[in-house]
Structure 1
Amino acid sequence: MAGAQKGPDEAITDINVTPLVDVSLVLVIIFMAISPFAMTSGIKVLESKAKAAIGKVSKSESVNIKLELSGKLTVNGKETNFEGLGLAVQKALGGKKDRLTILTADDKNKVGDVVRILDISKQFGAQKIAIMHSSKKKKKEKKG
């Protein structure tokens, strides 16, 4: 048997490394299986102050995309759909990729729709995208 002593005073000279190799190979396989999930890219979000962004950019300099609760989608006030969104954004940017694109959506909109708008906008040249929240708050009227 490997690693067994031949006599009472003789030291063990052989070390069984098979378990160490087995564990190492299992860890390598686990890391190889997990690495594609760790490498997936996401949307880079930079936190900024809304007052600073709105104050520096006028509405004429920015591209305004609005997604209403009804599903109506507009780019700079012109109605479009998801299929025509890319070309509408590209046209609104006018070749200036550094222009700010402002996406306004209600908190009750589907997250998938908002992410789809972000993806399409990025694909058609929008580099700076701000996300704004729009909700119509109903004011309670006081009865006299």
Structure 2
Amino acid sequence: MGAGVTQNSGGGGKRRRRSRGRSRAMSEINVTPFVDVMMVLLIIFMVAAPLMTVGVPVELPKTAANSLPSEQEEPLTITITAEGVVSIQTTEVPREDLIGRLRAIAAERESNRIFLRADGAVPYADVVQVMGALNRGGFENIGLVTDVGGPALDAPAN
């Protein structure tokens, strides 16, 4: 890749004295460092690209999913029993009072994360209505709690 150094003897009968260390400048660009840097950047982007995807964590009842990481604050949990009774932590709350109590709780908390536990027998419409109340109450980060260790979706049913 390097350019050769040429020296002209000058052909005129007079001998030119050669200077030591003087040669013509190399006129080619050495691209080897550029290729090395590009290969390193390519590897970094190949490793980092899968980590940059954003997903929506959704957990369904009876899955083999991992648990969510713990927080500094005690997690707030809403529970819907099979009978349709809604509870904040362990206190039963009438559905018409749910939004007002959630707004009061949201004003005191730093985190807007809340966990929703619903019995498998509760109709989907009831769960969605409570999720809407949670959203109107100031909680936008809703985690659905499941029974970890149940059958996975791809497992054959017995």
| TM bucket normalised to smaller | 0.5 to 0.7
Match of 1:46 in 2: 56
Do the aligned partners of residues 92 and 106 (structure 1) sit closer, same or farther apart at CA in structure 2, a change above 3 Å counting? Answer: same
More contact order relative to length (CA 8 Å, sep ≥ 6)? 2
Quickly say closer, same or farther: Cα 1:56–1:121, change in 2 above 3 A: same
Residue 127 of structure 1: aligned partner: 140
CA distance in 2, matches of 1:108, 1:88: 25
Residue 56 of structure 1 pairs with residue 52 of structure 2: no
State the 1:50 CA deviation: 4.1
Letter of the 2:70 counterpart: K
Instruction: Report the Cα offset of residue 57 of structure 1.
Output: 2.6
Contact 2:76 2:115 in 1 (8 A): yes
Structure 1, gaps ≥5 residues long: 1-44, 138-144
Return the alpha-carbon distance in structure 2 between the equivalents of residues 110 and 71 of structure 1: 9
Higher helix share: 1
Match of 1:33 in 2: none
Q: Which amino acid aligns with 2:104?
A: K
For 1:1-144, what aligned pairs fall within 5 Å after superposition? Answer: 46-47=56-57, 50-51=66-67, 53=68, 55-57=69-71, 61-96=74-109, 98-133=111-146
TM-score for the superposition, normalised by structure 2: 0.48
- TM-score of the pair, normalised by structure 1: 0.52
How far does residue 127 in structure 1 lie from its aligned partner after superposition?
1.4
Percent identity over the alignment is 16
Q: Which residue of 2 aligns with 1:5?
A: none
Where has structure 1 moved over 4 Å in runs of 4 or more? none
**CA pair 103-71 structure 1, distance change in 2 beyond 3 A:** same
Per-residue deviation, 1:97: 6.2
Give unpaired runs (5+ residues) of structure 2.
Answer: 1-54, 59-64, 151-158
CA distance in 1, matches of 2:130, 2:66: 20
Displacement of 1:115? 0.2
